[in-house]
Structure 1
Amino acid sequence: MNTKIYCLEQCFLPKNWELLLSAVKNVAGFCKESGKYDIPTLPVKLGHSLSKCAKVLRTKAIMEDNEDVKKSVEGFLKLYEDEWNERISVKARQTLYDAKFN
């Protein structure tokens, strides 16, 4: 498995999905034991930014008639739509909720 992403476009390759999720959790300080983030707003913001960048790249691919890039980005967006909330955002929002009421 590739353990490095060298440019933003590589984030949108579906084969790098697990690596991307791991990187987001790492940069936001996710703790497996507690299921909480050190910086809980960061994964939510990163998700929104990644989604926007993917849509820009998809538009560029459509304009350039690049089916390979378009297909990869659409795969990424499908993964994002299906999994981001469940695997990233829910735990981030729970961390925020817990911090607010503790």
Structure 2
Amino acid sequence: AWEFQEAVAEVLAVKALAALRHCGLTRLVVAGGVGANRRLRERLDADAAAGGLRVFYPELELCTDNGAMIAFCGARRLMAGARTGGGGAFAIRPRWPLNELTAET
């Protein structure tokens, strides 16, 4: 298990920091459940510091599984009267503040 975690942390750190450099950025925010992984945090912090980059994380209690957040959003929509239609098609919204929820969205 340790070797798998180490391999995943290495791949994620290398790719995330390479993407920052490629885009000319210097800061990375790691959120969601993956942000709670201590080894990933250590690896990102070390590699970022060596490359003059910065990584930011929410408090550990806020690093939860995004699936729980998606389910909560779905429950709020259902309680607001939203129904699916059209064969299950839906629009993708990369940013969706909960205060914008309506039965139509």
Q: TM-score, normalised by structure 1?
A: 0.27
Q: TM-score, normalised by structure 2?
A: 0.27
Greater RCO (CA < 8 Å, at least 6 residues apart): 1
Would you tell me which structure has more helix in proportion to its own residues? 1
